[in-house]
Structures are given as C-alpha cells and as structure tokens.
C-alpha cells in the first residue's frame, strides 16, 4: 500500500543483499550501492533519513549535500542511539557501575552530562548545515 518512492543508499554489498531480500515486496524501493558522499542525483527529495550514521559522513559533504538534495520544504531526519531523561534511574545505575568497576572515571563522568554534551554537539552540527542556520529549536527534535 506504500506508493512513495524510496531510494536506499548502502555501501555494504552484504547488507544491500539482505535489504533487497527483506524489501522485495516493495517495488517502489530502489537500492543503490554507494556512500552518501559518492551518491549523485539530479532529483530532489522530500525526506533524507540517516539512522546512526550521520556522524560518519565527511563533514564537508554532510554540511552541504542535504541542502542541495532536499526540496524546499524537505526534511532531514537523523537518528542516534543517545538517550537522555533526567528522571530515569538508568543513569544512576550506570554511574553506580562506573563507581564500582571504574572508580577513576566515576568522579569525572556524569552520564547525564556526557549525553547532554553529545546531544548539544549534534544540535550545533545540524544548525551549521546551510539548510538550518536559523532553524528554531522546536524544529530540531532530540
């Protein structure tokens, strides 16, 4: 029932084979073996998605190419595995594990603060993309 065209870029031949097999019932998915840096297209897209890979892209490319490949109202969606909630006890448990198993780090490393710094770094990076220099904070969802 999905009719939208999807262009999936994957540099790994083995992962590409698995993706093709798993998506064979979706004829609108086109697979291309390439990196984002090497990929060239004359068309523009409504959405570009990068799941846990955006930070690996060459900075000179990732800060300009999305702006060129997205339509005027297009969206760049990037996902990472960072998790940050101040009210979650998992952070207390992680800090307790640092205290027990790596006491030298336990006093230096507050997991909540480390995650917040990483998230802020990624927000700043996204804002440095020409597409988003004045992007309101509410448009960047973490």
5-49: pLDDT as tens digits: 999 999 999 999 999 999 999 999 999 999 999 999 999 999 999
Over 90: is that where the pLDDT of 130 sits?
A: no
**pLDDT computed for residue 138 by the predictor:** 44
Overall pTM > 0.75: no
In this prediction, what percent of the chain has a pLDDT beyond 90? 29
Over 60: is that where the pLDDT of 141 sits?
A: no
What is the C-alpha separation between 130 and 133, in angstroms, rounded? 6
- Which are the contacts of 31, defined by CB distance < 8 A and separation ≥ 6? 8, 10, 16, 19, 20, 23
């Amino acid at each position: 029932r999905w009719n939208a065209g999807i262009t999936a870029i994957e540099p790994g031949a083995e992962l590409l084979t698995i993706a093709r097999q798993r998506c064979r019932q979706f004829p609108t998915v086109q697979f291309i073996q390439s990196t984002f840096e090497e990929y060239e297209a004359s068309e523009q897209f409504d959405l570009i998605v990068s799941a846990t890979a955006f930070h690996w892209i060459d900075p000179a490319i990732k800060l300009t190419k999305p702006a060129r490949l997205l339509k005027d109202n297009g969206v760049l969606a990037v996902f990472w595995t960072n998790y940050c909630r101040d009210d979650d006890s998992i952070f207390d448990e992680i800090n307790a594990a640092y205290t027990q198993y790596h006491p030298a780090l336990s006093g230096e490393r507050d997991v909540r603060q480390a995650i917040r710094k990483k998230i802020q770094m990624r927000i700043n990076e996204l804002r440095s993309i020409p597409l988003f220099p004045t992007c309101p904070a509410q448009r960047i969802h973490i």
